[in-house]
A = this chain, B = another copy of it.
Amino acid sequence: MQIVVGQQEMESFLEEVFPQVRGMFAIERMAPGEIVMRLLNDERHLRPGGTVSGPAMFSLADVTAYVGVMMHIGKQALAVTLHCSIDFMRKPASGVDILAEGRVLKLGKSLAVIDVMLTSEGCDDPVAHATLTYSIPPVR
């Protein structure tokens, strides 16, 4: 697997295709087959008690998988999530960002499978773990 879209170009692309989540996510690190993203702790996605909500964690896992695929196949807004299985295991720490570490388990011609582990920054134990399948649009 080789990276074909750089970090800055990817961030601009995300802002363009998902303007409604502007400022919610940041790319931490990209490497072949690996991607780390950050969910900025922000009032929009909090649960009562100051911890990040399940839907915000799902969004983070989903965008991490999306970027993990795009960075290898090029910017294609049409790649879509086919499946996500997510386990919520611990309450996120209050007041800190969530980090998502994605690993591309498979990058096929039409499907990609990505594993994403979510942790509260500074804590070892994962708060959630997701596995996603993305559909890759056929090359024209």
**A interface residues with partner B (beta carbon < 8 Å):** 17-18, 20, 43-48, 54-55, 58-59, 62, 77, 80-90, 105-106, 110-111, 113, 115, 125-126, 129, 131, 133
Contact = CB atoms under 8 A, between A and B. Distances in A.
A59 B84 CA distance: 13
Nearest to A86: B84
Contacts of A46: 20
* Copies of this chain present: 4
A44 B44 CA distance: 12
A82 B88 contact: yes
A67 to B, nearest CB: 14
A59 B55 contact: yes
Contact of A17 (B20, B48, B55): B48
